[in-house]
C-alpha cells in the first residue's frame, strides 16, 4: 500500500532524532564528498594492476586514434566490454594525460553509491539511519579498495543502488512515480553501458521478487516496462547498433558469447577462469568487513518481512536481504564467477548494519545478541594476536609473498591493529552502547584499509607492468620488436602496452579461438611460435615478456638460446636476443 511522504519521513523513532530531511541530504552529500576526498589520497599509487591496465590502454588508444566508437587494445579491435568505463577514462586522459588519477572514475561512482545508500536508508528506516549506512559503506574494506580500482564494477554498484533507490521512491511517492521510474531505468541503462546486462539482473531480482510478492503478476504493470524499454533503448542502443553495423560478428559475440556462454563458463576464447564457490563467498565476507558481522542480526526481521502482516520496517529489511542473497546466489550459480562480483551487494549490507544500530539504539538487542557480538570481538583479538606471533611465518610459505620483504613487514602491524580493533569492539559490546559499536567498527577498520593499500603499493612489481615496462623502455631500443607470451586472456597485454607506450606483438596461445568479430584476423594479431623462434635464431632484435600467470623460476626454455635476462619482476621475465648495452 502506498504511503504519503509525510508519513514515511517523519515517523517518530528513537534513532531519528531532530534531523530534518534537508539536513540529512546535505550531511549525506558531505559524507560522500569527504569519504571520496580521503580515499583519493595518493590515488596514483600503486601503478595500474593487470586488470586496470586494459581499461587504461583502451582509453589511451581512443585518444591516439581519435575513435571513441570502436575500442582497441594493443591497436586491435576490442569489443569484449561495453564502452562507458573507456569513455570516462579517456575523458580524464583528455584533460590530464595518461595517469593513474583516472581512478577518479570509480571514485566518483563510489561517491554516487554512498549518497544513494544514505538516501535509501533514510527512506527505508530513518534519516539518521541512512547516514549510519553511509558511514558503514565508506568504511567497508571491499568498497574502499574497489573505489580506487579502475574497472567497471564500481559503476555497476552505483547503478544498482541508484536503481533500487529510485524504485523504492517510486513505490512510496505515488504523485511522483513516473520521474522516479525514469531515474530507475536511466540508472540501469548507464549500468548496461558499463557492464552489459548484469545490472538489469542484479537490480531486477529484488525488484521482481518484492513486486510479485506484494502485487502478483499485475504488479509488473506498476513498473511501466514500456517506459523502461524506451528509456534504456535510448541510452544503450546507439553505441551497440553502431558497433554491430560497423563490425560484423559483434552482435553474436556480445549477446551470446560474452553473456550467456560466459555465465555458463563456455565462452571462447576461454580468457577467464572462475573462482571456486568457497573462495567467492569468503571474498564476499572479507569485502564486507567489518560490518558483515552485524548481518545475521537482521535475518529474523527479514523473514517476518516476507509475511503478509509485516510492518514497513520488516518489509524494508526483506528487500535488503533479497537484494544481498539474490546477488550472491546469482553468481554462485555461475561457474565463471570472480571474487569481486559480490561488490553490488555491499550497499545492502551497509543498510542492514545500520538497521542493527537503529535497533540497538532503541534497546531492541537482547543480552544474548550483545554476548554474541562480544564473542566475535574476542575472536578478532585472538586472530590478531595469532597474527603477531605467527602471521609472518605463515605468509612466507606463499612464494610470491616471500618475494617482497617490505610486504611481509606489514604483517605484524596489521595483526596488532586487528588486536586493537577487536579490543575496541569488545569494549563497545560489553557496555552495550550502539554509538560506540558503530564507532568501534568504523574506526577499527580505517588503519586496516591503510595497511592494505600500502601492501598494494609494495606488491606493485608482482601485479603491475610498470616496473618491467620501465626496464624495457630503458634497455630495449625503439626499433626492436617486443613479443608477449600471451595467455588466452591476451588482454593482459594492456598494462604492458600502456606503460611501455609501444605496440606489442603477441605470441599465439595454443588452441586460441578468437571472438567472432575478430574472425579471420588471428594471423594479424599473433606471431606463431615457429616464426618467433626463427626470427630469434636469425639474429633479429627481439625482446620477450613472459606470461605473468605462469610461475617460472628459471627462464631456460622460454626462448631459444642464446638470450640475455634484462630483469625479473615476480613471475614476469624480460629477456632479449641482444645484450643490454645494445639497447642503450
Q: Say what the pLDDT of residue 583 is.
A: 43
Are both 496 and 515 inside the same structural domain?
A: yes
Taking 50 as the threshold, does the pLDDT of residue 466 lie above it?
yes
Terminus-to-terminus CA distance in the chain, angstroms? 76
Are both 395 and 442 inside the same structural domain?
A: yes
Domain closes at, from 456, 487, 518: 456
Are both 371 and 356 inside the same structural domain?
A: no
Q: Is the dihedral of CA 425, 433, 345, 47 positive or negative?
A: negative
Q: Please state the separation of Cα 144 from the chain's center in Å.
A: 10
pTM above 0.75, yes or no: yes
Rounded to whole angstroms, how far apart are CA atoms 104 and 110? Answer: 9
Q: Say what the pLDDT of residue 581 is.
A: 59
Are both 471 and 406 inside the same structural domain?
A: no
499-547, pLDDT tens digit by residue? 999 999 999 998 888 888 888 788 888 999 999 999 999 989 999 999 9
17-53, pLDDT tens digit by residue? 467 788 889 999 999 999 999 999 999 999 999 999 9
Residues 6+ apart with CB under 8 A from 577: 536, 539, 540, 541, 542, 543, 544, 559, 562, 563, 564
Domain closes at, from 456, 490, 506: 456
In this structure, is residue 75 part of a structural domain? no
Please, what is the Cα angle at 193 between 191 and 196, to 5 degrees?
80
Domain closes at, from 456, 490, 524: 456
Taking 50 as the threshold, does the pLDDT of residue 5 lie above it?
no
Q: Say what the pLDDT of residue 16 is.
A: 41
* Least confident stretch, 54-68, 105-119, 208-222: 208-222
Q: How confident is the model at residue 7 (pLDDT cuts 50, 70, 90)?
A: very low
Q: Say what the pLDDT of residue 9 is.
A: 36
Residue that the C-alpha cell 633479429 belongs to: 540
Are both 185 and 36 inside the same structural domain?
A: yes
Q: Say what the pLDDT of residue 18 is.
A: 60
| Buried-exposed string 224-258: b where 16+ CB fall within 10 A, e elsewhere | beeebeebbeebbeebbeebbeebebbbebbeebb
Q: Say what the pLDDT of residue 374 is.
A: 96
Strands (E), 37-109: 72-73, 76-77
Q: Say what the pLDDT of residue 14 is.
A: 37
162-171, pLDDT tens digit by residue? 999 999 999 9
Rounded to whole angstroms, how far apart are CA atoms 334 and 342? Answer: 12
Are both 376 and 336 inside the same structural domain?
A: no
In this structure, is residue 540 part of a structural domain? yes
In this structure, is residue 536 part of a structural domain? yes
Return the percentage of the chain with pLDDT > 70, whole number.
96
Residue that the C-alpha cell 574506526 belongs to: 443
Q: DSSP letter for 410, please.
A: T
Return the percentage of the chain with pLDDT > 90, whole number.
79
Q: Say what the pLDDT of residue 399 is.
A: 78
**Cα atoms in the Cβ-side hemisphere of radius 13 Å centred on 175:** 4
In this structure, is residue 558 part of a structural domain? yes
Taking 90 as the threshold, does the pLDDT of residue 113 lie above it?
yes
Are both 353 and 376 inside the same structural domain?
A: no
In this structure, is residue 88 part of a structural domain? no
Rounded to whole angstroms, how far apart are CA atoms 496 and 460? Answer: 13
Are both 350 and 491 inside the same structural domain?
A: no
Domain that holds residue 197: 5-44+99-361
Are both 445 and 477 inside the same structural domain?
A: no
386-433, pLDDT tens digit by residue? 999 888 888 888 877 777 788 888 999 999 999 999 999 999 999 999
Rounded to whole angstroms, how far apart are CA atoms 323 and 330? Answer: 11
Of the candidates 423, 444, 425, which has an alpha carbon nearest to the alpha carbon of residue 434? 425
Are both 123 and 220 inside the same structural domain?
A: yes
Q: Say what the pLDDT of residue 520 is.
A: 78
Taking 70 as the threshold, does the pLDDT of residue 11 lie above it?
no
Report cis status (omega within 30 of 0) of the bond before 57: no
**Could you write out the DSSP letters of every residue in 471-506?**
HHHHHS-TTSEEEEE--S-GGGHHHHHHHH-S--EE
Q: Are 521 and 459 in contact (CB under 8 A)?
A: no
Are both 325 and 427 inside the same structural domain?
A: no
In this structure, is residue 86 part of a structural domain? no
In this structure, is residue 274 part of a structural domain? yes
Rounded to whole angstroms, how far apart are CA atoms 335 and 337? Answer: 6
Average pLDDT over residues 302-322: 93
Better-predicted residue by pLDDT, 159 or 7? 159
Q: DSSP letter for 508, please.
A: P
Length of the chain: 584
Are both 133 and 254 inside the same structural domain?
A: yes
Chain mean pLDDT for the chain: 91
Domain count, the chain: 3
In this structure, is residue 267 part of a structural domain? yes
Q: How confident is the model at residue 15 (pLDDT cuts 50, 70, 90)?
A: very low
Strand 76-77 and strand 572-576: the pairing is: unpaired
Kind and range of the H or E run holding 43: none
Rounded to whole angstroms, how far apart are CA atoms 398 and 417? Answer: 22
Q: Is the dihedral of CA 343, 123, 303, 2 positive or negative?
A: negative
Amino acid at each position: 500500500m502506498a504511503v504519503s511522504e509525510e508519513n514515511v519521513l517523519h515517523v517518530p523513532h528513537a534513532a531519528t532524532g531532530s534531523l530534518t530531511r534537508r539536513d540529512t541530504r546535505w550531511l549525506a552529500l558531505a559524507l560522500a564528498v569527504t569519504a571520496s576526498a580521503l580515499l583519493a589520497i595518493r590515488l596514483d599509487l600503486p601503478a595500474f594492476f593487470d586488470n586496470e591496465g586494459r581499461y587504461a590502454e583502451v582509453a589511451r588508444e581512443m585518444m591516439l586514434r581519435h575513435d571513441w566508437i570502436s575500442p582497441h587494445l594493443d591497436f586491435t579491435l576490442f569489443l569484449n566490454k561495453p564502452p562507458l568505463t573507456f569513455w570516462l577514462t579517456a575523458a580524464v586522459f583528455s584533460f590530464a594525460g595518461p595517469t593513474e588519477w583516472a581512478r577518479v572514475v570509480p571514485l566518483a561512482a563510489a561517491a554516487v553509491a554512498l549518497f544513494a545508500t544514505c538516501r535509501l536508508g533514510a527512506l527505508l528506516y530513518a534519516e539518521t539511519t541512512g547516514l549510519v549506512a553511509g558511514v558503514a559503506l565508506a568504511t567497508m574494506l571491499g568498497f574502499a579498495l574497489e573505489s580506487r580500482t579502475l574497472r567497471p564494477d564500481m559503476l555497476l554498484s552505483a547503478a544498482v543502488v541508484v536503481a533500487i533507490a529510485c524504485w523504492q521512491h517510486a513505490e512510496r511517492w505515488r504523485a511522483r512515480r513516473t520521474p522516479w521510474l525514469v531515474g530507475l531505468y536511466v540508472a540501469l541503462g548507464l549500468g548496461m553501458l558499463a557492464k552489459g546486462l548484469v545490472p538489469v539482473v542484479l537490480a531486477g531480482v529484488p525488484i521482481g521478487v518484492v513486486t510479485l510478492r506484494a502485487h502478483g503478476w499485475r504488479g509488473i504493470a506498476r513498473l511501466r516496462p514500456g517506459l523502461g524499454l524506451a528509456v534504456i533503448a535510448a541510452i544503450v542502443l546507439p553505441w551497440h547498433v553502431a558497433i554491430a553495423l560497423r563490425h560484423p560478428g559483434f552482435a553474436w559475440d556480445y549477446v551470446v558469447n560474452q553473456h550467456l556462454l560466459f555465465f555458463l563458463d563456455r565462452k571462447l576464447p576461454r580468457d577467464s577462469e572462475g573462482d571456486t564457490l568457497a573462495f567467492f563467498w569468503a571474498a564476499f565476507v572479507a569485502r564486507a568487513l567489518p560490518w558483515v558481522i552485524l548481518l545475521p542480526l537482521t535475518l529474523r526481521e527479514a523473514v517476518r518481512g516476507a509475511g503478509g502482516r509485516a510492518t514497513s520496517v520488516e518489509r524494508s529489511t526483506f528487500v535488503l536481504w533479497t537484494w544481498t542473497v539474490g546477488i550472491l546466489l546469482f553468481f554462485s550459480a555461475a561457474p565463471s564467477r570472480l571474487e569481486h562480483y559480490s561488490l553490488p551487494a555491499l550497499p545492502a549490507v551497509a543498510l542492514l548494519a545500520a538497521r542493527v544500530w537503529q535497533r540497538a539504539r532503541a534497546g531492541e538487542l537482547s543480552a544474548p545478541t550483545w554476548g554474541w557480538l562480544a564473542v566475535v570481538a574476542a575472536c578478532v583479538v585472538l586472530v590478531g594476536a595469532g597474527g603477531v606471533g605467527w602471521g609472518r611465518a605463515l605468509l612466507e610459505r606463499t612464494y610470491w609473498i616471500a618475494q617482497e620483504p617490505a610486504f611481509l613487514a606489514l604483517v605484524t602491524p596489521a595483526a596488532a591493529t586487528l588486536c586493537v580493533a577487536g579490543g575496541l569492539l569488545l569494549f563497545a559490546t560489553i557496555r552495550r552502547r550502539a554509538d560506540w559499536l558503530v564507532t568501534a567498527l568504523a574506526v577499527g577498520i580505517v588503519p586496516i584499509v591503510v595497511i592494505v593499500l600500502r601492501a598494494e603499493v609494495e606488491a606493485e612489481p608482482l601485479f603491475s607492468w610498470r616496473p618491467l615496462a620501465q626496464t624495457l623502455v630503458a634497455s630495449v631500443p625503439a626499433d626492436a620488436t617486443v613479443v608477449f607470451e600471451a595467455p588466452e586472456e591476451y588482454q593482459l597485454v594492456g598494462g604492458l602496452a600502456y606503460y611501455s607506450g609501444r605496440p606489442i606483438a603477441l605470441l599465439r596461445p595454443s588452441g586460441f579461438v578468437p571472438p567472432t568479430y575478430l574472425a579471420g584476423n588471428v594471423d594479424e594479431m599473433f606471431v606463431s611460435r615457429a616464426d618467433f623462434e626463427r626470427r630469434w635464431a636469425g639474429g633479429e632484435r627481439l625482446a620477450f615478456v613472459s606470461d605473468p600467470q605462469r610461475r617460472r623460476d628459471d627462464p631456460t626454455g622460454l626462448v631459444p638460446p642464446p638470450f640475455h635476462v634484462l630483469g625479473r619482476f615476480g613471475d614476469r621475465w624480460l629477456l632479449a636476443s641482444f645484450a643490454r648495452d645494445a639497447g642503450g
